Each structure stands twice: as C-alpha cells, then as structure tokens.
Amino acid sequence: MVDYVEEVNIPPFAGTPSSQSRVLTTAVRLGVRPFTGRIKGRSATIRLWRSLLGAGSRCLRADPRVSVEPIIDPCVEDPNVERPVRGEWLRSPGCSPERGAILYLHGGGYAICSPRTHRVMTTRLAMDTDLPVLAPDYRLAPEHPFPAAFEDVLDAYRLLLARGFSSDRIIIAGDSSGGHLATALTAEACRTGLPVPAGVVLFSPWVDLTGELAMASVSSSRDPYIVPAVATRFGRLYVGKGDWADPRLSLLTCPSEELPPFLIQVGGIEVLRAEAEALAEVLDEAGSPYDLQVWPEQMHVFQIFNRLLPEADAAMREASRFIRRVLGTGSITEAA
C-alpha cells in the first residue's frame, strides 16, 4: 500500500451488506442477467440495449443542482485535435475550475451507454468535489472500432489542457470500459510525453478485453450482472482489426512507469474483480502508487446506485476524498 495519502479508513459498510444491497443484487441477478447473457453482439441487439439503458438511466435521478451543458468543441487551439470534442460539462453551484477538473469516461462495454446514462455518477462527483466534470461522448463500437474511442478521449484530454487546466490539476476517472480508457489514456501520456494527470479513479475497471481473466474467474464469482462470454464479444467488437498487443489495449502486458496515483474500486462478487487485482499487481511491480478497495458483496459499478445504496454512497465519498487529497483541495462537500 502506498503512503502518498493518509491510509484510508475501513469503509463503514465493509462488513455485512445492507438490506438495500441484498435486494438490489437479487433483483439484478433474476431480472437482468438472464437477458444480458443473450446479447450476441449484433448491431440490432446493441441498438436495442442502447435504447433500453438510455431509458432506464432516467430512473436513477441525477443531482438536479448540477448544471449540464452539452458541447461540440472543435478545440482550434490544439492542431492535434482532429475532430470536435462532443459531450457535456457538469458544474456544481460552488464549482471552482481554478482548482482543477475531472475527465469522466463512461462505461458500457465500448458499445452502449453515454454521458447521459452516467449522470448520477458525474453529478455526484461534481457536487462532492466542486470541480467541473467533462464527460466526452466518445464514438462506440461496432460502428466505430478501435482506436475511435481512444482518440476521442485523448482529444478531450487535450481540450482540457488547451483550456488552461494544468495536468497536475486534472483527474481522469472512469467505470468499466471507461476504466480501461482512463488507464490507457494515462499510460499513453506517460509513453508519449504528454502531460500526465494528477490521479486516476477507476470504478470496476474492465482491464482485460480478451476476457481470459473473466472466464478463468467465473466459477469463483457470484456476479449478478456480467456474463464473461458477452464481455468477450464486446471486446472483439471494439478491438476489431486492431492489434491486441497494442499498449492502448493490452494494459496488463504493457505497463508504464511514472504513473500518477490510482484509486481502484471493485465489487467483491463481480467477475471483473480479478482484473482489478491484476492491474493493482502491475502498478505495484512498476512502483506506481495505488489504493485497491474491494467492496464486499457488491456488484459491477455499484457506485451508480449512490442514491439508493449506503455502500455506493460511501464508495463515492471515498473517491471524492481521494480526488481532494491528490489535488490538495480539502474535505469533501457533504452530499444531500
């Protein structure tokens, strides 16, 4: 464990899961997993899931105090940005951009979801940290395979730099495939000489796109949501004709040095737990600072239920504390 911040206290819900958590996990296992297991990767099926998840996300109420500003920014200041950055800015009433910014990369297997589906997380981060949050609407597979999504988030990072945000005031965060993007983007900055962000926050990161780790650990997990075979299909959709050994894809075999501090949160029963632990091992071997938090009995990206589950609320607070400690901006704002 690292010593760049004071040691994190044991999360208040690290023991027996709450009754809300048990009910939700059971509901997802019975009501969602049977359907996710049938996703074959066909374009029509993916379009259907995009619609369903887009509609379902409206049931998770984002914080109404946070302003949401859609953007299409060509970023003419940086000639390396080849296409306009699309997405949205999220700002709390007490937003202090001089303190820094968060670049949030949404999950969804590189094929589904959007900044809108993840507003319950981005608005929470905006309120807890009082930092502006940029959530890019990156291109999705199968219409846009690798490196489309990576290029879009790299452009979004360049946009922040062009807008005057110093790299040591930028946090890159992401969940699931967004966690893969966040790690790949940070490592790319280290490899290419691009200014390196101050820190990285990963929620249930999808690290191994081949699906090998997930398939190997499926017998020991009780994941109520992710079917490893489906994750493997999504990985193939994104990689397409790309080289699986490309360092922007293969995070576990292409480690980088001089990475910033990482916070990795993962649910104890999700099938991607082994991937989060493998990434922590890579960071440890490279001598990079990190904090791995395994939240017992929690599912994949449980933090998205931060208005429903006490565990998710506590995890989001831990993430915001990490951000404020890395940036040196004091205690978190109390969320209502």
Q: Give the CA angle between residues 177, 198, 91 to the nearest 5°.
A: 70
> Are the C-beta atoms of residues 154 and 185 closer than 8 Å to each other?
yes
Residues tagged active-site: 176
List alpha helices for 247-309, DSSP H.
Answer: 273-286
Q: 231-252 as b/e, with b when 16 or more CB fall inside 10 Å?
A: bbbbbbbbbeeeeeeeebbbbb
CA distances (Å), 15 to each of 21, 164, 277, 296, in order? 12, 43, 20, 7
What is d(CA 304, CA 302) in angstroms, rounded to the nearest whole number? 5
Give the HSE-up count for residue 262: Cα atoms under 13 Å, Cβ half-sphere: 33
For the chain, what is the largest distance between any 2 Cα atoms, rounded to a whole number of angstroms? Answer: 53
Half-sphere exposure for 119 (CA within 13 Å, toward CB): 26
For 200, residues 6+ apart whose C-beta sits below 8 A from its C-beta are 171, 172, 173, 182, 183, 186, 259, 260, 261, 262, 263
Contact 214, 208 (CB under 8 A): yes
Which contiguous run of DSSP H or E holds residue 69?
strand 67-73
* Distance between CA atoms of residues 271 and 265, nearest Å: 13
Q: Whole-angstrom Cα distance, residue 256 to residue 13? A: 34
